[in-house]
């Protein structure tokens, strides 16, 4: 009968043993001579992570007081991971937050204001492109330093344009120019313009150019059911119905756009700095980037977006975290230069030597510097981000799919969700 | 005689054509994925439909090891899977035996409760689970991953179903020989349940090996990361190198394929065993 | 209780204990926790406030909840029968003595082990409007199908891919179940002149029924949790046609910052699936032969 006891004790012993085997990471004792270790959370793929590691290494070489331990995941799961950790009462000291989530994070006091730190250390903020800083402010207070301030460009496939005998437009092109060019490009087998409806950012430029927007000035009222926005959406649906936009645009992802673009199936698309990289990976791809078409007296129609590097409001290592952020994103830190060398994104500061590193005049898109600066000065516009942005977006996107495919008119679709969207804004 | 031969031929034809058809259906997308794993990054976009790359980029497989500490992730995944499978098999077999063969008050109610646990979507208990692990001081340890996957209601259900099929006469004979519950379970039931245990092992291995949500939130440091987290990092930004992702997928699943193929013979052993019973 | 019954009761407790401890800590405890969250308003980074049944009342008037519930039900009720029938038939076929049996079994199992993201990436070029499937349709003179761009075809396409991926999973379970059927039953049936179809109907189906019950219940439970495939392949589109309950739960919690509401949806989902499971268990006495 001994065997019975064995049967029940063995699994429990093995369980306990395994617990001891793996359990580690006992709480570190604070020691004034030891360097402070901070956790720094960000998203990225191996290349992007490599850049971050280089910067962390450089930071370790630069000083001895602070050690940085990276917390990484892929973008798709990053914010869920971060939110779980924060909700569970832990979380990194320094974190990157996508500006889509920024207002919600701030509304919940997740980030520490840094105005006092900026003032204490006399950090010169004038060199930052203004839009990046603005996206790091909430109700007039600065909560972080900008990371990857960049436009969503219009990509132009030069081969397709030449083949169809269409001239590359000037920066001051408007919606009519866009429509004419897109229709010319779509004659025959190809399409003019590739779009994907994963975010509202892909249709807002056209709504902006037509004088509409997602919300009113105060960002408190949903306005996509007003005539300017509705007209722009119906116009896009018309282009889709006429075969100017590919059928698959309705559920396409960014990769599909890159695929169509480099194969000459579409002549134009919207794309980010990261998509410049994937397009460049295709041998012989000849393309340019520029701003989105403008409207009547409305130049700023190109989405210009940034992200936030901030300090966890519950962190007890504020000084160490701030030292690292200054190195990573500050005007005197080495971070920006290392980012530029990796060519993954355009400069956050208006500084010529950074552009010199980032933009290679022999590599397409050759006009990236010129176009980016024009967008920063004149053609760029921030998304009307606010608390509940993602929830409103999740109401709008399905309707955009319906509008584009012709299942429903823009007015009907937008009126249908207006009350729900407004309820989110009023909450 | 002739009609019998035709019928035999006809059924063989049917058998083979169905088998080959489904094999092809399974194989075509996978062949494409394997082809993609040997393309250059540019060719993924430029020749999306090609099964065979212009030039075979075997270096993609080496590139993964340069990009992420893949070997470390692999070892971690093996460790977590091994322990989680072991515990799931032990605990499920014990519970399954109790539900199938022992009589006790509330048996069906408790069993339904266990089934109900299978219904809870993991996304919902993610944060409570995170808090449990934090309280146990197990965040960022492989133990946390082992523990969350060592107890699987499906295992109880599966083995209960199979234990029902083991002839009661065998156990009754063992009682005559003075066997207690423990010995009957260990020496009569378990040996007969080999195909079921192997099946449960495979299913548990699949669950743990491809587990993503729990590792995502429990694990922080690179040293404790598992393969699925490595895969997520490979797709971590807008410029996803699908050729490398596919190569990583091929590497990540090949141990599972080998294990599955080598365990297939247990299904045949099962036949021989059940032939002997009456 | 007799002495014997007491001993058996005690043994049962010991046999159940290891599993129960684990369930209590990692499933039951967190589930109770999330039930309390469902009764609260919780924006993840603040303190939960108790709101009683408010979240459940909100649900009733939320058209997105009903849409995702309908989509999920569509997925479950088409996918489960289709997948069960195909997996069972394939298991029966591959249980025959045919050449290269292990090769077929091995390859058909392959899609099971591959990660869902890879599945989505490899299927996307197949189901695009100018993709391989439509190319094949055109080659045999059929008109193209808008696989994932029309609200009508998107869910069937998702079901097709889900079945493709999991045929092998349930085939393996059926194969294990088939091993338990004594071969002498088939031998005597053949002597009596029973055809293959008759053998399947009168021997295989009844004797494999405990496994079938398992497969149907488990597949139903898993199918109600459909999340990954729709997230990566269609993102719930077009026009929410493939948006599912668990996607909505995840979105409510981690994007809309409404964990209480998400948990309330999860609780309703739980009740639905649980009652269906109970019904199946009650019905099972009519067709499952132990």
pLDDT in tens, A229-268: 999 999 999 999 999 999 999 988 888 899 999 999 999 9
- B170 in a structural domain: yes
Q: Say how many CB pairs under 8 Å bridge A and C.
A: 85
Predicted local confidence at residue C116, as pLDDT: 85
> What percent of chain C is predicted at pLDDT more than 90?
75
Chain B residues within 8 A of C88 when measuring between CB atoms: none
pLDDT, average across residues A8-17: 56
pLDDT above 70: residue A1:
no
Q: Nearest by CB to B97, from C15, C168, C175: name it.
A: C15
Predicted local confidence at residue C223, as pLDDT: 97
Identify the CATH number of the domain in which residue A180 sits.
3.40.190.10
- Model confidence over C196-236: pLDDT tens digits? 889 999 999 999 998 999 999 999 999 999 999 999 899 99
Reading the block at residue C222, the tokens are 């898993």
**DSSP 8-class letter at A250:** G
- B91 in a structural domain: yes
Query: Taking Cα atoms as reference points, which of A7, C34, A145 lies closest to residue B93?
Result: A7
Judged by DSSP in three states, B193 sits in: coil
Chain B residues within 8 A of C25 when measuring between CB atoms: 132, 147
- B144 in a structural domain: yes
Predicted local confidence at residue B151, as pLDDT: 93
Residue B275: pLDDT band with limits 50, 70, 90: very low
Nearest chain B CA: its distance from C94 CA (Å): 7
Residue C115: pLDDT band with limits 50, 70, 90: confident
pLDDT, average across residues B194-208: 91
| A126 and A165 together in one domain | no
pLDDT above 70: residue B63:
yes
pLDDT above 50: residue C84:
yes
Residue B227's domain spans which residues? 68-234
| Torsion angles phi and psi, residue A184, rounded to 5 | -60, -45
Give a three-class secondary structure readout of chain C.
CCHHHHHHHHHHHHHHHHHHHHHHHHHHHHHHHHHHHHCEECCCCCCCEECCCHHHHHHHCCHHHHHHHHHHHHHHHHHHHHHHHHHHHHHHHCCCCCCCHHHHHHHHHHHHHCCHHHHHHHHHHHHCCCCHHHHHHHHCCCCCCCCCCCCCCHHHHHHHHHHHHHHHHHHHHHHHHHHCCCHHHHHHHHHCCCCHHHHHHHHHHHHCHHHHHHHHHHHHHHHHCCCHHHHHHCCCCCCCCCCCHHHHHHHHHHCCCCHHHHHHHHHHHHHHHHHHHHHHHHHHHHHCCC
pLDDT, average across residues B28-52: 90
- Model confidence over A282-291: pLDDT tens digits? 989 999 999 9
Euclidean distance between CA atoms C35 and C28, whole angstroms: 10
| A165 and A238 together in one domain | yes
pLDDT above 90: residue A168:
yes
Nearest chain B CA: its distance from A206 CA (Å): 23
Q: Which residue of A has its CA nearest to B221?
A: A71
> Per the structure, how many domains does chain A have?
2
- B277 in a structural domain: no
Predicted local confidence at residue B11, as pLDDT: 83
**Tokens 């919207």, located at residue:** A270
- B252 in a structural domain: no
pLDDT, average across residues C110-131: 86
Residues in chain B: 278
Domains contained in chain C, CATH given: 63-127+153-287 (1.10.3720.10)
- Model confidence over B105-137: pLDDT tens digits? 999 999 999 999 999 998 889 999 999 999 999
Predicted local confidence at residue A427, as pLDDT: 86
Cβ pair C123:B29 closer than 8 A: yes
- Model confidence over C146-159: pLDDT tens digits? 999 999 999 999 99
- Model confidence over B212-268: pLDDT tens digits? 999 999 998 889 999 999 998 998 888 888 999 999 999 999 999 899 988 887 765
| A108 and A121 together in one domain | yes
Euclidean distance between CA atoms A53 and B153, whole angstroms: 42
> Per the structure, how many domains does chain B have?
1
* CB of B97 closer than 8 Å to CB of B189: yes
Cβ pair C115:B103 closer than 8 A: no
Q: Nearest by CB to C45, from A86, A256, A398: name it.
A: A86
Cβ pair B22:C167 closer than 8 A: yes
| A158 and A290 together in one domain | yes
- A216 in a structural domain: yes
pLDDT above 90: residue C118:
no
Q: What is the ipTM of this complex?
A: 0.90
Residues in chain A: 427
Identify the CATH number of the domain in which residue B111 sits.
1.10.3720.10
| A110 and A155 together in one domain | no
Residue C288: pLDDT band with limits 50, 70, 90: confident
Neighbours of C84 (CB within 10 A): 18
Cβ pair B240:A22 closer than 8 A: no
| A422 and A352 together in one domain | no
Predicted local confidence at residue A11, as pLDDT: 55
A329 touches chain C (CB under 8 A): no
Q: Return the higher-pLDDT residue of A28 and A170.
A: A170
Instruction: Quote the mean pLDDT of chain B.
Output: 88
B10 strand-pairing partners: none
Judged by DSSP in three states, A271 sits in: strand
Instruction: Quote the mean pLDDT of chain C.
Output: 92
pLDDT above 60: residue A23:
no
Region class of B152: left (phi > 0), else alpha (psi between -120 and 50), else beta: beta
Instruction: Quote the mean pLDDT of chain A.
Output: 91
A363 touches chain B (CB under 8 A): no
Reading the block at residue B17, the tokens are 């054509």
Tell me whether residue C251 is exposed, middle or buried, using C-beta atoms within 10 angstroms of its C-beta: 0 to 12, 13 to 18, 19 or more: buried
pLDDT, average across residues B131-156: 93
Predicted local confidence at residue B268, as pLDDT: 58
| A254 and A126 together in one domain | no
- A379 in a structural domain: no
Chain C residues within 8 A of A424 when measuring between CB atoms: 256
Residue A317's domain spans which residues? 37-150+305-358
| A283 and A176 together in one domain | yes
pLDDT above 80: residue B277:
no
| Contact residues for A27 (Cβ-Cβ < 8 A; gap 6+) | none
- B220 in a structural domain: yes
Q: Nearest by CB to C118, from B115, B127, B246: name it.
A: B246
| A117 and A127 together in one domain | yes
The bridge status of strand A141-142 relative to strand A137-138 is antiparallel
> What percent of chain A is predicted at pLDDT more than 70?
93
- Model confidence over A371-405: pLDDT tens digits? 999 999 999 999 999 999 999 999 999 999 999 99
A310 strand-pairing partners: A95
Euclidean distance between CA atoms B57 and B60, whole angstroms: 6
Least confident of A27-31, A167-171, A371-375, C224-228: A27-31
């Amino acid at each position: 009968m001994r065997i019975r006891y064995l049967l029940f004790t063995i699994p429990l012993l093995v369980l306990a043993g395994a617990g001891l085997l793996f359990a580690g990471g006992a709480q570190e004792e604070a020691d004034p001579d030891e360097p402070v270790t901070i956790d720094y959370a960000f998203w990225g793929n191996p290349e992007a992570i490599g850049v971050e590691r280089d910067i962390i290494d450089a930071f370790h070489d630069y000083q001895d007081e602070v050690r940085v331990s990276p917390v990484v995941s892929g973008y798709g799961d990053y914010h869920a991971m971060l939110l779980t950790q924060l909700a569970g009462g832990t979380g990194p000291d320094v974190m990157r937050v996508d500006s889509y989530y920024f207002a919600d994070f701030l509304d919940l006091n997740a980030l520490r204001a840094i105005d006092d730190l900026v003032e204490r250390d006399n950090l010169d903020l004038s060199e930052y492109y203004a839009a990046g800083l603005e996206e790091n402010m909430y109700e007039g207070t600065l909560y972080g330093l900008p990371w990857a301030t960049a436009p969503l460009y219009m990509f132009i496939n030069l081969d397709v344009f030449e083949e169809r005998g269409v001239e590359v437009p000037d920066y001051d092109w408007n919606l009519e120019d866009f429509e004419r060019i897109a229709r010319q490009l779509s004659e025959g087998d190809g399409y003019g313009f590739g779009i994907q409806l994963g975010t509202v950012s892909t249709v807002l430029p056209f709504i902006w150019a037509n004088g509409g927007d997602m919300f009113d000035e105060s960002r408190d009222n949903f306005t996509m059911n007003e005539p300017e926005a509705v007209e722009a959406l119906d116009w896009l649906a018309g282009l889709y119905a006429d075969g100017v936009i590919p059928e698959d645009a309705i559920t396409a992802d960014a990769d599909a756009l890159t695929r169509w673009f480099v194969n000459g199936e579409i002549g134009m698309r919207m794309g980010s700095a990261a998509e410049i990289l994937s397009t460049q990976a295709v041998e012989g791809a000849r393309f340019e980037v520029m701003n989105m078409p403008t409207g009547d007296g409305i130049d700023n129609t190109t989405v210009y977006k940034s992200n936030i590097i901030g300090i966890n409001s519950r962190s007890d290592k504020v000084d160490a975290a701030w030292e690292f952020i200054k190195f990573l994103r500050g005007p005197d830190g080495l971070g920006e230069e290392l980012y530029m060398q990796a060519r993954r994104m355009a400069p956050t500061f208006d500084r010529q030597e950074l552009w010199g590193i980032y933009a290679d005049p022999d590599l397409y898109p050759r006009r990236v510097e010129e176009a980016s600066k024009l967008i920063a000065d004149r053609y760029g516009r921030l998304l009307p981000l606010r608390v509940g942005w993602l929830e409103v977006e999740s109401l709008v996107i399905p309707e955009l799919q319906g509008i584009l495919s012709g299942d429903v008119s823009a007015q009907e679709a937008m009126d249908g969700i207006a009350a729900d969207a407004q309820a989110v804004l009023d909450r | 005689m002739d009609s019998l031969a035709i019928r035999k031929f006809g059924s063989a034809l049917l058998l083979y054509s169905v088998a080959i058809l489904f094999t092809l259906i399974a194989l075509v997308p996978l062949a494409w994925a394997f082809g993609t794993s040997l393309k250059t990054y540019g060719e993924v976009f430029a020749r999306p439909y090609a099964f065979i790359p212009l030039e075979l980029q075997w270096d993609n497989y080496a590139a993964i090891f340069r990009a992420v500490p893949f070997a470390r992730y692999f070892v971690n995944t093996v460790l977590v899977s091994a322990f989680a499978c072991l515990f799931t098999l032990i605990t499920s077999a014990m519970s399954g035996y109790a539900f199938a063969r022992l009589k006790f008050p509330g048996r069906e109610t408790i069993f339904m409760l266990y089934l109900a646990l299978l219904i809870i979507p993991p996304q919902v208990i993610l944060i409570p689970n995170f808090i449990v692990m934090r309280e146990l001081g197990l965040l960022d340890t492989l133990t946390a991953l082992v523990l969350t996957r060592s107890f699987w209601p499906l295992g109880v259900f599966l083995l209960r179903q199979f234990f029902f099929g083991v002839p009661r006469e065998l156990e009754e004979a063992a009682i005559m020989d003075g066997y207690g519950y423990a010995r009957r379970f260990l020496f009569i039931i378990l040996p007969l349940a080999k195909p079921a245990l192997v099946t449960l092992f495979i299913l548990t291995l699949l669950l743990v090996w491809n587990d993503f949500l729990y590792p995502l939130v429990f694990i922080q440091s690179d040293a404790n990361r598992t393969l699925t987290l490595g895969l997520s990092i490979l797709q971590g930004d807008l410029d996803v190198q699908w050729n490398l992702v596919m190569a990583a997928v091929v590497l990540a699943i090949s141990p599972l394929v080998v294990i599955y193929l080598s365990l297939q013979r247990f299904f045949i052993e099962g036949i021989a065993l059940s032939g002997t019973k009456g | 209780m007799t002495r014997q019954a007491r001993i058996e009761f005690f043994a049962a407790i010991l046999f159940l204990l290891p599993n129960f401890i684990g369930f209590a800590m990692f499933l039951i405890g967190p589930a109770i926790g999330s039930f309390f969250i469902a009764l609260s308003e919780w924006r993840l980074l603040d303190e939960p406030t108790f709101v009683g049944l408010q979240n459940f009342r909100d649900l009733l008037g939320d058209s997105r909840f009903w849409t995702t519930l309908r989509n999920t039900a569509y997925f479950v009720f088409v996918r489960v029968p289709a997948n069960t029938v195909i997996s069972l038939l394939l298991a029966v076929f591959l249980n025959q003595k045919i050449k290269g049996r292990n090769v077929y079994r091995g390859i058909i199992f392959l899609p099971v082990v591959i990660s869902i993201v890879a599945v989505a990436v490899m299927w996307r070029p197949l189901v695009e409007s100018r993709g391989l499937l439509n190319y094949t349709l055109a080659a045999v003179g059929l008109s193209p199908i808008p696989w994932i761009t029309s609200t009508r075809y998107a869910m069937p396409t998702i079901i097709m891919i889900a079945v493709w991926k999991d045929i092998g999973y349930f085939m393996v379970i059926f194969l294990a179940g088939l091993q338990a059927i004594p071969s002498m039953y088939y031998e005597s049936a053949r002597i009596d002149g029973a055809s293959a179809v008759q053998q399947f109907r009168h021997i295989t189906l009844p004797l494999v029924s405990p496994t079938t019950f398992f497969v149907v219940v488990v597949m139903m439970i898993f199918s109600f949790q459909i999340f990954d495939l729709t997230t990566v392949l269609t993102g719930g589109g077009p026009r929410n046609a493939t948006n599912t309950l668990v996607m909505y739960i995840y979105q409510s919690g981690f994007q809309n910052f409404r964990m209480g509401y998400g948990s309330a949806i999860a609780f309703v989902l739980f009740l639905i699936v649980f009652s269906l499971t109970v019904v199946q268990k009650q019905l099972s006495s009519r067709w499952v032969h132990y």
